[in-house]
């Protein structure tokens, strides 16, 4: 469950984070109720950022925000389906209304059902793209408009995947198309937002144990899932699956002034899997 996946707080306070501090920043994390998104919300709040935990699962978002209750940063929950453009604009407005600005956007929400292309319906492909790629566009546009208006810069972090650059296994063609799109979108949007001092970067996680990956993927049996996980492990030089906090710490880095001169790039966080 979430408690096991999120790392405990470190002893140092946000005022000791130096260039990695996000204290006083206002952030929105899509898909922030569970998995990697919750890990990111946790570290941002620990670092003193105020966080909107935005998720299609409203109850899980409420629980996740409540869990962050004793962090230095404040957390509020918000229902958000990233595949719905007006709802994306409302979520950005909610962050501004609640905290006064939007300084950090983490586009994390994503789904990963599997299907062979030869069996894939147009509806399957369209839904996956609507959540994983159009959602990034809708949120980035709404955030970009707000950040340009604020005139104080900003950080946009997109959670892509190692599959953005190299396929993991068959059945993920639609997912890989979406995540390849996220990476290309990241690079071009970085060019567009550079004049406003808004950086746009991506993280490419490898195999991360989350609520989502703990479930058998749609279209896969439990046995196929277990075989896939063990095949995955064989390919990881660091010999373990990642945990959400492995991604969260890199997200905080990209959200902080330590990464001020990085834009349009991506950080691979995969235990060395792409080397294998
Ligand atoms: N876990 C991995 O191994 C891995 C690897 C590479 C990339 N990623 C990417 O990281 C991101 C998070 O993955 P995870 O493993 O934490 O997933 P997860 O399923 O554990 O959590 C995803 C969260 O997103 C929410 N969500 C789903 N659809 C949404 C929508 N339409 N609008 C808003 N919220 C929505 C879910 O309710 C959930 O809280 C995804 O974009 C995924 O593609 C994960």
Number of the ligand 1 atom closest to the C-alpha atom of 81: 32
Q: Tell me the CA–centroid distance for residue 31 and ligand 1, in Å.
A: 6
Mean of pLDDT values over 254-260: 98
Listed residue (268, 260, 137, 136) closest to 199, CA to CA = 260
Beta bridge partners of 156: 105, 200
* Per-residue DSSP letter, 237: T
Q: Which two tokens stand for residue 50?
A: 């105020």
Which residue CA neighbors atom 36 of ligand 1 most closely? 31
Burial class (CB in 10 A: 0-12, 13-18, 19+), 207: buried
Q: Pairing state of beta strands 198-205 and 154-159?
A: parallel
Average pLDDT, the chain: 94
pLDDT at 50: 98
CA angle centred on 143, ends 142 and 147, rounded to 5°: 125
Find the range with the poorest average confidence among 95-109, 113-127, 210-224, 240-254.
210-224
CB of 164 sitting under 6 A from ligand 1: no
Number of the ligand 1 atom closest to the C-alpha atom of 211: 20
Number of the ligand 1 atom closest to the C-alpha atom of 33: 39
Q: Return d(Cα 12, Cα 104) in angstroms, integer.
A: 22
Q: Which residues of 55-84 are buried (b: 16+ CB within 10 A; e: fewer)?
A: bbbeebbbbbbebbeebbbbbbbbbbbbbb
Q: Tell me the CA–centroid distance for residue 16 and ligand 1, in Å.
A: 31
Q: Which sign does the torsion angle of CA 15, 18, 24, 27 carry?
A: negative
H helix runs in the chain, sequence order: 2-5, 35-46, 58-67, 85-99, 122-129, 135-150, 173-193, 211-214, 222-234, 244-255
Residue-range domains of the chain with CATH: 20-268 (3.40.50.720)
Query: Which residues are known catalytic residues?
Result: 175
pLDDT at 1: 43
Burial class (CB in 10 A: 0-12, 13-18, 19+), 23: middle
CB of 109 sitting under 6 A from ligand 1: yes
More confident: 201 or 18: 201
CB of 82 sitting under 6 A from ligand 1: yes
Q: pLDDT tens, 167-191? A: 999 999 999 999 999 999 999 999 9
pLDDT at 115: 96
Q: Pairing state of beta strands 104-107 and 154-159?
A: parallel
Q: Which sign does the torsion angle of CA 77, 82, 84, 87 carry?
A: positive
CB of 14 sitting under 6 A from ligand 1: no
Residue 274 has pLDDT above 80, yes or no: yes
pLDDT at 9: 54
CB of 208 sitting under 6 A from ligand 1: yes
Mean of pLDDT values over 219-228: 78
The pair phi, psi for residue 104, each rounded to 5°, is -135, 125
Q: Which sign does the torsion angle of CA 60, 62, 65, 66 carry?
A: negative
């Amino acid at each position: 469950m979430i408690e096991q996946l999120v790392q405990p707080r470190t002893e140092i306070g946000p005022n000791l984070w130096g260039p990695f501090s996000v204290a006083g920043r206002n952030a929105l994390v899509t898909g922030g109720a569970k998995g990697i998104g919750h890990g990111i919300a946790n570290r941002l709040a620990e670092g003193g950022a105020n966080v909107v935990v935005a998720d299609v699962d409203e109850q899980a978002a409420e629980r996740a925000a409540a869990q962050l209750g004793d962090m230095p940063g404040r957390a509020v929950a918000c229902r958000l389906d990233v595949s719905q453009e007006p709802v994306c604009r409302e979520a950005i407005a909610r962050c501004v209304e609640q905290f006064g600005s939007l300084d950090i956007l983490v586009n994390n929400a994503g789904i990963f059902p599997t299907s062979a292309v030869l069996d894939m319906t147009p509806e399957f492909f369209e839904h996956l793209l609507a959540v994983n790629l159009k959602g990034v566009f809708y949120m980035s546009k709404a955030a970009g408009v707000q950040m340009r208006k604020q005139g104080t810069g900003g950080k946009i972090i997109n959670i892509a995947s190692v599959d953005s650059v190299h396929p993991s296994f068959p059945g993920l063609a639609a997912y890989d198309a979406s995540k390849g799109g996220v990476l290309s979108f990241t690079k071009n949007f970085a060019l567009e937002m550079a004049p406003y001092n808004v950086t746009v970067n991506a993280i490419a996680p490898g195999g991360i144990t989350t609520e989502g990956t703990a479930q058998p993927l749609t279209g896969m049996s439990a046995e196929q899932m277990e075989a896939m996980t063990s095949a995955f492990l064989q390919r990881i030089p660091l010999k373990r699956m990642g945990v959400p906090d492995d991604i969260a710490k890199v997200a905080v880095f990209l959200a902080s002034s330590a990464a001020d001169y990085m834009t349009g790039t991506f950080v691979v966080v995969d235990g060395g899997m792409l080397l294998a």
